[in-house]
């Protein structure tokens, strides 16, 4: 018998999996279930989830618009770190999980629930990300992960369970989906099924947020992005809220075929996984931010920040957003961003965003020093001693080797 609980907050989408989970939780735990649906900008209507939950007898239903908080408090801080997991992945799924977990725990406290539940499988990263968040924010919470408990280990079994208990399932959900997806304002991902052979190219019609680069406009588009303390605040002189700004960058990037990625990544739980991603606005933002940092950051600070980045990205990917080490790294990164103010001009053309101009009141670039023409501020003879000092260890090693040889 499962440990008794009174009330459970379920992360609920209204799809097949979480609809079955909702019924299964009540059937198995004899507990009241509160549903929580997060609007993270996934681009789908969420009210049907409310209607479906009501139809299944749920009394407490939460559908929360978290788009501004998501971009402001999660996406932008992560982008200040220039975070790339394994050098390529912009962490679109990873960064959404801590916010969902945070709000789920808040609802559990508000409603007096003693348990939370999610629909992540026992093979993926999301179970880890959700549960690390739960325990970091409420150490005594009970976590229920149905995929690790039940025997409904196939889509056929889920459908049969739904039919046996008269759980309404949309007709378009009855067929086997060609892949699983996860979407939010930062990205959309495609995994599994038809994508499990890493040799087979993804079908062209899989993509929903971008045109193919070869079909993008033949004329480049130039945009200007303004930054304040490392965060974007305006596009082409128009001030926008965080979510509105990322939405606009998604439109611009998608129009020009920017942000497609097909990778094999190392999951935290141990296996490799192939994922196809679309991150149009995030890709433009990443390139633009880096362009401004090269102008504003001291070399030592920028290189130190670059060394911290892989560890930061790994922490986000693995689900340690609320860990003390991530917060420590964030404090150092945020300190570096105080000087990252200015405007970047980006050229968007056939799948590639290119920085073609940058300016800042905090620029460390000095044309008087950098010029190849005659100048009065730099004595080129100084370079001789600098070079000889840096070459000293190399010369000593070469002399020793020549004698021993």
Residue 189 and residue 42 in one domain: no
What confidence tier does 154 reach under pLDDT thresholds 50, 70, 90? confident
97 classed as catalytic = yes
- Indicate whether 76 belongs to any domain: no
When mean pLDDT is compared across 120-134, 175-189, 263-277, the lowest value belongs to 175-189
Predicted pLDDT of residue 174: 56
The pLDDT of 261-270, averaged and rounded, is 96
More confident residue, 224 or 181: 224
Residue 109 and residue 188 in one domain: no
Domain that holds residue 225: 182-297+340-359
- Indicate whether 330 belongs to any domain: no
Q: List, in order, residues 6 or more apart from 174 with CB less than 8 Å away.
A: 159
- Indicate whether 206 belongs to any domain: yes
Predicted pLDDT of residue 27: 94
Q: Examine the pLDDT at 155 and tell me if it is beyond 90.
A: no
Domain count, the chain: 3
Residue 347 and residue 199 in one domain: yes
Residue 169 and residue 26 in one domain: yes
Residue 372 and residue 389 in one domain: yes
Residue percentage of the chain with pLDDT more than 90:
83
What confidence tier does 390 reach under pLDDT thresholds 50, 70, 90? very high
Residue 132 and residue 191 in one domain: no
Predicted pLDDT of residue 147: 93
Q: What is the pLDDT of residues 295-315, one digit of tens each?
A: 999 999 999 999 999 999 999
Catalytic residue among 13, 17, 94, 326: 17
- Indicate whether 255 belongs to any domain: yes
The three state secondary structure string of the chain is: CCCCCCEEEEECCCCHHHHHHHHHHHHHHCCEEEEEEEECCCCCCCHHHHHHHHHCCCCCEEEEECHHHHHHHHHHHHHHCCCCECCCECCCCHHHHHHHHHHHHHHHHHHCCCEEECCCCCCCCHHHHHHHHHHHHCCCCEEECHHHCCCCCCHHHHHHHHHHCCCCCCHHHCCCCCCEEEECCCCEEEECHHHCCCCCCCCHHHCCCCCCHHHCCCCCEEEEEEEECCEEEEECCEECCHHHHHHHHHHHHHHCCCCEEEEEEECCCCCEEEEEEECHHHHHHHHHHHHHHHHHCCHHHHHHHHHHHHHHHHHHHHCCCCCHHHHHHHHHHHHHHHHCCEEEEEEEECCEEEEEEEECCCCCCCHHHHCCCCCCCCCCCHHHHHHHHHHHHHHHHHHHHHHHC
Contact assessment for residue 28 and residue 13, using Cβ atoms and an 8 Å cutoff: no
Residue 227 and residue 168 in one domain: no
Residue 40 and residue 142 in one domain: yes
Catalytic residue among 50, 72, 155, 180: 180
Q: Examine the pLDDT at 166 and tell me if it is beyond 90.
A: no
126 classed as catalytic = yes
- Indicate whether 125 belongs to any domain: yes
- Indicate whether 334 belongs to any domain: no
Residue 140 and residue 245 in one domain: no
Domain boundary among 138, 154, 176: 176
Q: Examine the pLDDT at 119 and tell me if it is beyond 60.
A: yes
Domain boundary among 176, 205, 238: 176
- Indicate whether 80 belongs to any domain: no
Domain boundary among 141, 176, 211: 176
Residue 349 and residue 266 in one domain: yes
Check which CATH number belongs to the domain holding 286 and give it.
3.90.1260.10
Strand pairing report for 61-65 and 32-39? parallel
Residue 387 and residue 251 in one domain: no
Q: How far apart are CA 219 and CA 256, in angstroms?
A: 10
Retrieve residue 170's tokens.
């949309």
What confidence tier does 404 reach under pLDDT thresholds 50, 70, 90? confident
Catalytic residue among 114, 126, 182, 231: 126
- Indicate whether 20 belongs to any domain: yes
Check which CATH number belongs to the domain holding 99 and give it.
3.40.50.620
Mean pLDDT, the chain, as a whole number? 94
Q: What is the pLDDT of residues 32-80, one digit of tens each?
A: 999 999 999 998 888 889 999 999 999 999 999 999 999 999 999 999 9
Catalytic residue among 67, 97, 129, 274: 97
Residue percentage of the chain with pLDDT more than 70:
97
The pLDDT of 314-319, averaged and rounded, is 98
Q: How many residues does the chain have?
A: 405
pTM of the model: 0.94
Residue 55 and residue 167 in one domain: yes
């Amino acid at each position: 018998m499962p440990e008794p609980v009174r009330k459970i907050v379920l992360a609920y989408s209204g799809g097949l999996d979480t609809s079955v989970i909702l019924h299964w939780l009540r059937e198995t735990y004899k507990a009241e279930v509160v549903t929580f649906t997060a609007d993270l900008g996934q681009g789908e209507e969420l009210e049907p989830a409310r209607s479906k939950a009501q139809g299944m007898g749920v009394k407490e239903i939460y559908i929360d618009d978290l788009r501004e908080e998501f971009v402001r408090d999660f996406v932008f801080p992560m982008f200040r770190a220039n975070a790339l997991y394994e050098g390529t992945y912009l962490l679109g799924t990873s960064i959404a999980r801590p916010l969902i977990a945070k709000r789920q725990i808040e609802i559990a406290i508000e409603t007096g629930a003693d348990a939370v539940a999610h629909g992540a499988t026992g093979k993926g990263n999301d179970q880890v990300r959700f549960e690390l968040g739960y325990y970091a924010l409420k150490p005594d919470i009970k976590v229920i992960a149905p995929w690790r408990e039940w025997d409904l280990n196939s889509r056929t079994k889920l459908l049969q369970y739904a039919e046996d208990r008269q759980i309404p399932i949309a007709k378009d959900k009855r067929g086997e989906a060609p892949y699983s997806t996860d979407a939010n304002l930062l990205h959309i991902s495609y995994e599994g099924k038809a994508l499990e052979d890493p040799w087979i190219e993804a079908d062209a019609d899989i993509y929903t947020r971008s045109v193919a680069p070869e079909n993008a406009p033949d004329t480049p588009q130039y945009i200007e992005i303004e930054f304040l303390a490392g965060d974007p605040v305006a596009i082409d002189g128009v001030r926008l809220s965080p979510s509105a700004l990322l939405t606009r960058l998604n439109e611009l990037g998608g129009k020009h075929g920017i942000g497609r990625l097909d990778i094999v990544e190392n999951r935290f739980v141990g296996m490799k996984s192939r994922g196809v991603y679309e991150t149009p606005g995030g890709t433009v933002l990443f390139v633009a931010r880096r362009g401004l940092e090269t102008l504003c950051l001291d070399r030592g600070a920028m290189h130190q920040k670059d060394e911290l980045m892989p560890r930061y990205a790994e922490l986000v990917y693995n689900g340690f957003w609320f860990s003390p080490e991530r917060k420590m790294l964030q404090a150092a990164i945020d300190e570096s961003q105080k000087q990252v103010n200015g405007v970047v001009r980006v050229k968007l053309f056939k799948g590639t965003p290119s920085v073609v101009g940058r300016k800042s009141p905090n620029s460390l670039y000095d044309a008087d020093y950098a010029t190849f023409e005659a100048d009065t501020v730099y004595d080129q003879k100084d370079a001789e001693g600098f070079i000889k000092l840096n070459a000293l260890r190399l010369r000593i090693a070469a002399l020793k080797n020549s004698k021993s040889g």
